[in-house]
């Protein structure tokens, strides 16, 4: 493994011997440690079931770890009270594979939901949000190229558009960290490229720290700074993206796969 | 100037939809005000009435259990009648629902016919059907079973068709694409999606029919209703309370069993965040046992699914249901062959019903129907206002204090054990004859009936958007309002019209026990064999049901 944790001191996300075991006995994350420095765009690679989603959910506290620690922006997630957890989540954007939009609500309402962490009390309907937030929501929609659709219902959009609305919702949080859990797994190749380009462009413009899980190596190359590969909940690859090509990454997978005598997962990345 | 400045429009424009929605809400409110004044209700009188009911309940207590043998026997008859009625309705509803659902119907004309048959059977209250069948055959359980079966088609057929229509499209296309027939497609793509909801519907209807069959005795169709009505007529309130108590316990037990089955069908909400992490020792044992079974099936390459706790439970429940139906068929005192041979008696009565005629009672019919409409609007509104917070309390994915959800669920289920006519009898005994006791009694039923409906719907709301809202750092009330309420609006509107529909029908039989509305005239017309008037009144009821249904379709489209 190549060392990339040199800048560990200014780590935004810091994961230390983290494990998660579900009640049915599955160990989804197994003793994982790594630091993500500020502004880094990290691609998290792995097949489905390798523990990527669970790891992401542990980072923003949607799951609680069985052992180990997660520290985000100086807050230790696994020791937070519910209130602290909410406060921390305000600074972490989360993009879901299934978008997580309420289909009956308009795009702008779905985007405004991203501001809830900053507001007191429940809100329903566009008019219940302050004007400056509404303007902000429109700006976010403009940034993802969906301003004309602002007052259209979310369930009238295509998959790629829905994911862009979800990105706009995260932007509404003005997040310092963005977690994207398989953001393109339910999209066609063209929208996939669009959505990923949008994420990496925003990350560079805003200096955001990003962890983005993917199962296609070729999509990660050119859009990420660093790659971490997971298999069976363990880290089997950790290197900078610069200079990496599909071949070399698959070789790494093959080597670690052969060592453990399991079937070769790298072949499935092709 | 940015794009946003150019396109600035911080709120949606006022369009036709918004205007129509405002009109709908306004209409809803004004119809409530109309009903309230039409029935001469007052808030002061409301509290006085509550006091009167309290006094009567004091006189009924303690229950007198001296005739337990008779009570248990008639209770058993009630349960078997309800079971057979529901099974009969399911058998009749299945083909009707296939014909009535847009995605499975062979032809648009068939769809119209099936929809009409389903609606028609809803228009005639089971109690009225039973009264007619009792005069056509003889007093006893058979007219009751027949009435329950025919009337239940209205709800079961409609909900089956809804379940079929909500099945998603891709599997249907996938199954068609392999070259299957239409029937194969329905079996493999549609029914598997609709089945959990269909079984839940059948169970739900069985619970309703249990309460329905409990009052069939009021018109001579057997079951525990006869015991209760006899005791009440002779002012023996204490034995009546004993019979009501038995009814209570039995309904509660069946309700708990059926909701357990329902939950295993729908599957626990896969939302790990919003669910409490607590697990009992037993469930942890079962989970471990199941994963072991699954692993063994994998390694041995078993060609049939492993006997996990889920499968054991499902197969067990199905076997139990079949066994119960068999027992019911043999233990109800019906000579099935001769009863079915005499089924043409219905035809004779039907013949006497045409042509429908007012026989000079036009004004009575119109004012009775208007009163029924007022009763149903007021009681539905009052009931829903109580039911909404109650539903939130009961929904396990909203109210994370699971014990509180369970307790409120049990309380509501217990209250549901009282059939509305029994409540109406008590309220009429306490406040005197008239539409107000009828309305209040119906409100109680609406409240508990709707609370369960709302809670079940909330539990079925998709967890994905909720998780997304939690992940932005929203508090629980914020999450509830921003992601649950928007998902709840459209089913709520559907439920509202369903409730109006159900309880308008209920309001048409309140008159049998002196609770106001068209019911008094209706039952009198049957008792004096004035069947032409009976059919005229039923037509009037049907016309109102149709109007409600049409309104419902229009408003549901508005809130889609």
Q: What is the nearest CA distance from A21 to chain B, expressed in angstroms?
A: 13
Q: What is the nearest CA distance from B499 to chain A, expressed in angstroms?
A: 23
**Testing the interface with A: which of B22, B473, B475 to mutate, by most A Cβ within 10 A?**
B473
Q: What is the pLDDT of residue B502?
A: 86
- In this complex, which of A86, A126, A147 lies closest to B473 when CB atoms are compared? A86
Rounding to the nearest 10 degrees, give the CA dihedral for residues B420, B421, B422, B426: 100
- In this complex, which of B12, B464, B472 lies closest to A173 when CB atoms are compared? B472
Cis peptide before A100 (omega within 30 of 0): no
Neighbours of B310 (CB within 10 A): 15
Would you give the distance in Å from CA A150 to the centre of its chain?
24
* Confidence tier at B465 by pLDDT (50, 70, 90): confident
Q: Per-residue pLDDT tens for B514-559?
A: 888 999 999 889 888 888 999 999 899 989 988 998 998 888 888 8
Cα distance between residue B540 and residue B370, in whole Å = 10
Please compute the mean of the pLDDT values over residues B61-84 and round it to a whole number. Answer: 88
Q: Is residue B274 helix, strand or coil?
A: coil
Q: What is the pLDDT of residue B12?
A: 67
B280 touches chain A (CB under 8 A): no
Give me the helices (H) in B234-335, please: 237-266, 281-299, 309-331
Q: Where in chain B is the domain with CATH 1.10.3720.10?
A: 14-61+357-560, 65-272+310-344
**Which is nearest to B318 in space by CA: B266, B265, B253?**
B265
- Contact between A202 and A167 (Cβ < 8 Å): yes
Q: Is A151 exposed, middle or buried (0-12, 13-18, 19+ CB in 10 A)?
A: middle
Q: Both tokens of residue B94?
A: 């299945």
Q: Both tokens of residue B265?
A: 């069908």
Q: Both tokens of residue B175?
A: 């199954």
Which residues of chain A are within 8 Å of residue B398 when distances are taken between CB atoms?
none
* Confidence tier at B370 by pLDDT (50, 70, 90): very high
pLDDT at B219 over 90: no
pLDDT at B371 over 70: yes
Helix (H) or strand (E) holding B545: helix B531-558
Cα distance between residue B146 and residue B271, in whole Å = 43
Q: What is the pLDDT of residue A5?
A: 43
B110 touches chain A (CB under 8 A): no
Q: What is the pLDDT of residue B109?
A: 92
Cα distance between residue B172 and residue B186, in whole Å = 8
- In this complex, which of A93, A116, A150 lies closest to B469 when CB atoms are compared? A116
| More confident call, B442 vs B473 | B442
Cα distance between residue B541 and residue B285, in whole Å = 55
CATH topology for B14-61+357-560 is MetI-like fold (1.10.3720)
Q: What is the pLDDT of residue A161?
A: 94
Q: Is residue B184 helix, strand or coil?
A: helix
- Contact between A60 and A92 (Cβ < 8 Å): yes
Cα distance between residue A177 and residue A88, in whole Å = 10
Neighbours of B206 (CB within 10 A): 24
pLDDT at B8 over 70: no
Q: What is the nearest CA distance from B232 to chain A, expressed in angstroms?
A: 50
Q: State the average pLDDT for chain B.
A: 84
Q: What is the pLDDT of residue B389?
A: 94
The pTM of the full predicted model, rounded to 2 decimals, is: 0.74
Q: Which of residues 154-193 of A touch B (CB under 8 A)?
A: 166, 169-170, 172-173
Q: Is A108 exposed, middle or buried (0-12, 13-18, 19+ CB in 10 A)?
A: buried
Q: What is the pLDDT of residue B264?
A: 61
Cα distance between residue B383 and residue B66, in whole Å = 36
- In this complex, which of B2, B467, B472 lies closest to A113 when CB atoms are compared? B472
Cα distance between residue A248 and residue B57, in whole Å = 83
Q: What is the pLDDT along chain A (270 residues), one digit of tens a residue?
A: 444 444 445 789 999 999 999 887 888 999 999 999 999 999 999 887 888 989 998 998 888 899 999 999 888 988 888 888 888 888 899 998 888 888 888 898 899 888 888 888 888 778 888 889 999 999 999 999 998 888 888 888 999 999 999 999 999 989 999 999 999 988 999 999 999 999 999 999 999 999 999 888 888 888 899 999 988 889 988 888 888 777 777 776 666 654 444 444 444 443
Cα distance between residue B80 and residue B214, in whole Å = 11
Q: What is the pLDDT of residue B113?
A: 94
Q: Both tokens of residue B321?
A: 């249901």
Hey, which residues does B209 pair with through a beta bridge?
A: none
Contact check, Cβ <8 Å, A89/B472: yes
A132 touches chain B (CB under 8 A): no
A151 touches chain B (CB under 8 A): yes
- Contact between B375 and B35 (Cβ < 8 Å): yes
- Contact between B288 and B279 (Cβ < 8 Å): no
- Contact between B451 and B391 (Cβ < 8 Å): yes
Q: Which residue has the tokens 């003005």?
A: A174
Q: What is the pLDDT of residue A259?
A: 46
Q: What is the pLDDT of residue A118?
A: 83
* Confidence tier at B85 by pLDDT (50, 70, 90): very high
| A234-240 sheet: strands from edge to edge | A92-95, A177-180, A209-214, A41-45, A226-231, A234-240
Q: What is the pLDDT of residue B447?
A: 95
DSSP character for A22? -
Cα distance between residue B453 and residue B491, in whole Å = 10
User: Cα dist. B264→A196, B257, B310, B448, B455 in Å?
Assistant: 39, 11, 7, 23, 16
pLDDT at B67 over 90: no
**Which is nearest to B145 in space by CA: B229, B41, B222, B226?**
B222
* Confidence tier at B332 by pLDDT (50, 70, 90): confident
Q: What is the pLDDT of residue A266?
A: 45
How would CATH label the architecture of B65-272+310-344? Orthogonal Bundle (1.10)
User: HSE-up of A236 (CA within 13 Å, CB side)?
Assistant: 28
Q: Is residue A32 helix, strand or coil?
A: strand
- In this complex, which of B12, B273, B469 lies closest to A126 when CB atoms are compared? B12
Q: What percent of chain B has pLDDT over 70?
A: 93
Domains and CATH numbers, chain A: 1-91+177-270 (3.40.50.300), 99-174 (no CATH)
Q: What is the pLDDT of residue B272?
A: 32
Neighbours of B10 (CB within 10 A): 18
Contact check, Cβ <8 Å, B472/A142: no
Hey, which residues does A95 pair with through a beta bridge?
A: A180
CA R_g for chain B: 25
Q: What is the pLDDT of residue B262?
A: 66
| More confident call, B308 vs A61 | A61
Find which of A81-85, B245-249, B343-347, B374-378 is predicted with most confidence, using mean pLDDT. Answer: B374-378
Cα distance between residue A180 and residue B324, in whole Å = 52
Q: What is the pLDDT of residue A4?
A: 44
Cα distance between residue B333 and residue B385, in whole Å = 43
Sign, Cα dihedral of B285, B290, B295, B300 = positive
Q: Which residue has the tokens 């609606």?
A: B119
Would you give the distance in Å from CA A61 to the centre of its chain?
13
pLDDT at B256 over 60: yes
């Amino acid at each position: 493994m190549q060392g990339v944790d040199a800048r560990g001191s200014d780590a935004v996300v810091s994961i230390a011997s983290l494990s998660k075991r579900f009640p049915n006995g599955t160990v989804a994350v197994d003793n994982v440690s790594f630091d993500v420095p500020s502004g880094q765009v990290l691609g998290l690679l792995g097949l489905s079931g390798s523990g990527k989603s669970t790891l992401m959910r542990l980072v923003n506290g949607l799951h609680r770890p069985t052992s180990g620690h997660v520290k985000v922006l100086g807050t230790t997630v696994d020791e937070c009270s519910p209130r602290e957890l909410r406060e921390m989540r305000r600074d972490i954007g989360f993009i879901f594979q299934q978008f997580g939009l309420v289909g009956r609500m308009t795009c702008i309402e779905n985007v405004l939901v991203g501001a809830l962490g900053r507001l007191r009390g429940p809100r329903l309907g566009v008019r219940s949000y302050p004007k400056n937030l509404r303007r902000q929501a429109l700006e976010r929609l403009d940034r993802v190229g969906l301003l004309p659709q602002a007052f259209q219902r979310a369930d009238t959009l295509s998959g790629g558009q829905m994911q862009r609305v979800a990105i706009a919702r995260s932007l509404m949080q003005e997040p310092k960290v963005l977690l994207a859990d398989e953001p393109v797994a339910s999209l066609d190749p063209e929208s996939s490229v669009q959505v990923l380009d949008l994420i990496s462009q925003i990350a560079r413009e805003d200096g955001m720290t990003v962890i983005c899980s993917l199962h296609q190596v070729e999509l990660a190359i050119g859009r990420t700074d660093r790659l971490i590969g997971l298999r069976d909940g363990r880290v089997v690859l950790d290197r900078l993206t610069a200079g990496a090509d599909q071949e070399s990454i698959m070789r790494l997978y093959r080597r670690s796969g052969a060592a453990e005598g399991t079937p070769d997962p790298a072949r499935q990345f092709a | 100037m940015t794009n946003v400045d150019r396109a600035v429009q911080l709120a949606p424009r006022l369009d036709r939809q918004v205007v129509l929605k405002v009109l709908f809400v306004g209409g809803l409110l004004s119809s409530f005000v109309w009903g309230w004044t039409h029935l001469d209700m007052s808030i002061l009188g409301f509290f006085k009435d509550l006091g009167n009911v309290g006094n009567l309940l004091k006189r009924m207590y303690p229950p007198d259990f001296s005739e337990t043998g008779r009570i248990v026997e008639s209770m058993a008859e009630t349960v078997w009648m309800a079971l057979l009625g529901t099974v009969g309705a399911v058998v009749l509803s299945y083909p009707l629902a296939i014909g009535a659902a847009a995605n499975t119907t062979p032809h648009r004309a068939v769809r119209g016919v099936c929809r009409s048959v389903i609606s028609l059977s809803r228009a005639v209250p089971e109690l009225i059907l039973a009264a007619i069948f009792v005069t056509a055959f003889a007093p006893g359980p058979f007219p009751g079973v027949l009435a329950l079966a025919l009337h239940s088609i209205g709800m079961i057929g409609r909900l089956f068709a809804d379940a079929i229509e909500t099945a998603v499209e891709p599997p249907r296309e996938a199954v068609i694409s392999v070259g299957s027939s239409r029937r194969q497609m329905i079996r493999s793509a549609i029914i598997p999606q609709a089945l959990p909801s269909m079984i839940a519907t059948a169970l739900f209807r069985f619970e309703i029919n249990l309460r329905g069959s409990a009052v069939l005795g009021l018109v001579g169709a057997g079951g525990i209703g006869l015991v209760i009505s006899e005791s009440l007529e002779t002012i023996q309130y204490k034995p009546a309370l004993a019979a009501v108590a038995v009814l209570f316990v039995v309904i509660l037990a069946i309700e708990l069993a059926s909701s357990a089955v329902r939950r295993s069908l729908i599957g626990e909400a896969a939302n790990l965040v919003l669910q409490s992490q607590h697990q009992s020792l037993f469930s942890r044992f079962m989970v471990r046992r199941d994963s072991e079974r699954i692993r063994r099936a994998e390694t041995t390459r078993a060609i049939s699914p492993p006997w996990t706790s889920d499968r054991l439970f499902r197969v067990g429940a199905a076997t139990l249901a079949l066994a119960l139906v068999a027992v019911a068929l043999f233990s109800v005192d019906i000579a099935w062959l001769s009863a079915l041979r005499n089924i043409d008696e219905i035809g004779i009565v039907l013949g006497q019903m045409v042509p429908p005629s007012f026989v000079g009672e036009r004004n009575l019919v119109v004012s009775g129907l208007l009163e029924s409409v007022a009763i149903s609007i007021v009681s539905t509104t009052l009931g829903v206002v109580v039911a909404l917070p109650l539903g939130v309390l009961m929904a396990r994915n909203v109210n994370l204090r699971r014990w509180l959800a369970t307790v409120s669920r049990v309380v509501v289920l217990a209250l549901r054990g009282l059939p509305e006519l029994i409540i109406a009898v008590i309220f009429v005994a306490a406040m005197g004859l008239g539409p107000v006791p009828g309305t209040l009694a119906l409100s109680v039923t609406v409240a508990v009936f709707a609370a369960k409906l709302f809670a079940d719907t909330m539990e079925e709301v998709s967890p994905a958007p909720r998780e997304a809202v939690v992940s932005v750092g929203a508090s629980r009330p914020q999450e509830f309002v921003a992601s649950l309420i928007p998902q709840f609006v459209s089913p709520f509107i559907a439920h509202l019209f369903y409730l109006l529909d159900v309880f308008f029908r209920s309001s048409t039989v309140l008159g049998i026990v002196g609770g106001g509305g068209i019911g008094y005239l209706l039952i009198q017309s049957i008792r004096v064999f004035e069947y032409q008037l009976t059919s005229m009144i039923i037509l009037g009821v049907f016309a109102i049901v149709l109007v409600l249904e049409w309104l419902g379709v229009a408003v549901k489209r508005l809130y889609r």
